[in-house]
Amino acid sequence: MSEKFVIEGGRPLSGEVTAAGNKNAALPIIAACLLTDEELVLTNVPRIRDTEAQVAILERMGVRAEWGSDHELRLRADNVTDTAPDEELSSRIRASFLLAGPLLARFGEAIMPPPGGDFIGRRRLDPHLDAFKDMGAHVEGTRQIEITAPNGGLKPCVVFMDEPSVMGTENALMAAALTPGPTTIYNAACEPHVQDLARLLVKMGAEIDGIGSNIMTVHGRDKLGGAEHRISPDHIEIGSFMALAAATGGEVCIRDTQPEDLRMIFRQFRRLGLEARVEGTDVIVPAGVKLEVKDDLGDAIPKIEDGPWPAFPADLTSIALALATQADGTILIFEKMFENRLFFTDKLVAMGARITLCDPHRAIVSGPSRLHGERVESPDIRAGMAMLIAALAAEGRSEIGNIVQIDRGYEAIDDRLRSLGARIERVAVEPVPARA
């Protein structure tokens, strides 16, 4: 049975919320359990649909998994019986393809079904496969992809990514960590979640130079061990809560952040008038923030654009766009990385937002808009959060359907929003019978 959120908007959020663990760090780190037969103990793991799906795939393959208290997850891959992840389970998440690197390095083969994930545009697997080929692997197939290591295993080498693919870099890192010798990855992604995976691999026994840069050298080992690791806080969720607070006019303290991961988020949100302050590891959005677009020099229309780290994260463009509807002025939102991500803007237009979608990558937002409640559907995780921001800032009642998408990336978001004073309820939706 599907569910929807029913929201009564127009109420400032206020209070404290703790940042969850980074979803995009947890998914490759969970996959890394395949690199060793020893136990991996992870804490601060977000209990969301995507992480649970990743664990379910691993369990089907023979990995022992146990959830504990305080978001602890214990994994042991000492009895893996299958190198072909389940196709139906894999279709639920994009991150299922992160099992390819560990399977290939440890077992010599990976038979990968098509991954799932958000439909936000073309998301190439070529950088992953090119890295494996550079290491000597043989790749066959187009839908189901069979990857096999050469006799004697993968070879250390130089890998050059034709784009700084996050998951491609993560797969290359994991494969290289269990390949003896130095492998250098050029044009590597270096987002906080990539750095977190690299730190785990170091704990497991690999040596990695250049963590946090776009050139990383992995000194791999022929055997990796178990480790204990705490997942870093989710900078995308922190940015989402900052926008929720500012759009509704409330004061919210976000605890347990990593401020150094938020520099570009702070800078770009300041273009919309969102001035937050940092106290230790807490981020505080003060009450009654005056949202006002800061024009560029010469009164030129400014823009918020995304890009590979350390640029503004692509996963926050939808959130920035929703926040911009409440800011006084005009701004261009330029989504460079995914050609379908901005197609949800028609939902915000239906709520009263003034948005001109110029093309698949660019939208002009003029605010502030007086939003009103509406019935909308969430097409992906971040569009769903953008709709939540709009609904909580709007006057009247909104309904957001297909919230399974939001649950994939934000843990118990309705409970956490209620703790901040939001009027939001999760309601079951009865399926509509097909006509005879």
User: Which of the residues are catalytic?
Assistant: 118
Cβ atoms of 244 and 59 closer than 8 Å: no
How far is it, in rounded angstroms, from Cα 67 to Cα 52? 10
Q: Rounded CA gap, 42 and 226, in Å?
A: 11
DSSP codes of every residue in 341-385? GGGGHHHHHHTT-EEEEEETTEEEEEE----B--EEE--SHHHHH
Which amino acid type is present at position 327?
Answer: A
Phi, psi at 131, each rounded to 5°: -65, -45
Q: At what angle do helices 235-248 and 381-393 cross, to 10 degrees?
A: 20
Residues 6+ apart with CB under 8 A from 88: none
Element (H, E) at 101: helix 100-107
DSSP state of 309: T
**Whether the bond into 308 is cis, omega within 30 of 0:** no
Q: 């992953």: which residue's tokens?
A: 128
Residue 337 to residues 113, 316, 361, 362, Cα–Cα distance (Å): 24, 12, 8, 11
**φ, ψ of residue 340 in degrees (nearest 5):** -110, -5
Collect all residues with Cβ–Cβ distance below 8 Å to 120 and sequence separation of at least 6. 338, 340, 341, 380
> How far apart are the C-alpha atoms of 239 and 233, rounded to whole Å?
11
Q: What angle do CA 26, 27, 31 make, to 5 degrees?
A: 110
Beta-bridge partners for 306: 312
State the burial class of residue 272 (Cβ atoms within 10 Å of its Cβ: 0-12, 13-18, 19+). Answer: buried
Q: Is the link from the previous residue into 379 a cis peptide, with omega within 30 of 0?
A: no
